[in-house]
């Protein structure tokens, strides 16, 4: 019989104190912790490719997820399409994701400075000097890496395509 999969999934959506403890435990086990972040409003092939490549860079993958309020400030009142609980659950359901943590700020800089992952990852549409938390991770001896994005995939383009088909 399988374990309670729903509870296993929900256990990946974690608070800051719990994640801090988990990271300490992982590091005691010599696990390399990777952190990335984003909105992940409509999960698509570009997201899956990016996140799987990020996961391959270390042993444990943490995703910082913008809260609904943060998304509205960054993307406008019509976003997000999916609320933070739905987005977090979808990300947690990915087998290569080890933890999902919500953050309220417009950038995850403070969260990253607190967690200090071994590897910080963003899409190659950013330069290292533009990546929130990069200075803190580098100062702590960590690495900052960028991953090429899959062309033609974005939540915004999918939303625009749906809107064009319904008007």
State the virtual CA torsion across 46, 31, 98, 23 in degrees, nearest 10.
Answer: -120
Tens digit of pLDDT for each residue in 67-85? 999 999 999 999 999 999 9
Residue 120: CATH number of its domain? 3.40.50.620
pLDDT on residue 3: 74
pLDDT on residue 76: 92
Please identify every stretch of the chain with a pLDDT value under 50, giving residue numbers as ranges: none
Give the total number of structural domains in the chain: 1
pLDDT on residue 153: 67
Can you give the residue range of the structural domain that contains 76? Answer: 5-166
Question: Considering the entire predicted model, what is its pTM?
Answer: 0.91
């Amino acid at each position: 019989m399988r374990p309670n999969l729903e509870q296993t999934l929900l256990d990946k959506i974690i608070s800051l104190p719990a994640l801090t403890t988990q990271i300490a435990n992982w590091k005691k086990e010599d696990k390399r912790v990777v952190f990335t972040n984003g909105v992940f409003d409509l999960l698509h092939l570009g997201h899956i490719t990016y996140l799987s490549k990020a996961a391959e860079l270390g042993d444990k993958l943490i995703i910082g997820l913008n809260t609904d309020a943060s998304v509205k400030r960054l993307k406008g009142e019509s976003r997000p399409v999916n609320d933070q609980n739905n987005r977090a659950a979808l990300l947690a359901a990915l087998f290569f994701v080890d933890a999902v943590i919500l953050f309220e700020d417009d950038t995850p800089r403070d969260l990253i400075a607190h967690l200090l992952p071994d590897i910080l990852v963003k899409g190659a549409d950013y330069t290292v000097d533009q990546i929130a938390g990069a200075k803190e991770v580098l100062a702590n001896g960590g690495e900052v890496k960028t991953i090429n994005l899959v062309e033609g995939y974005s939540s915004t383009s999918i939303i625009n395509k749906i809107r064009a088909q319904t008007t």
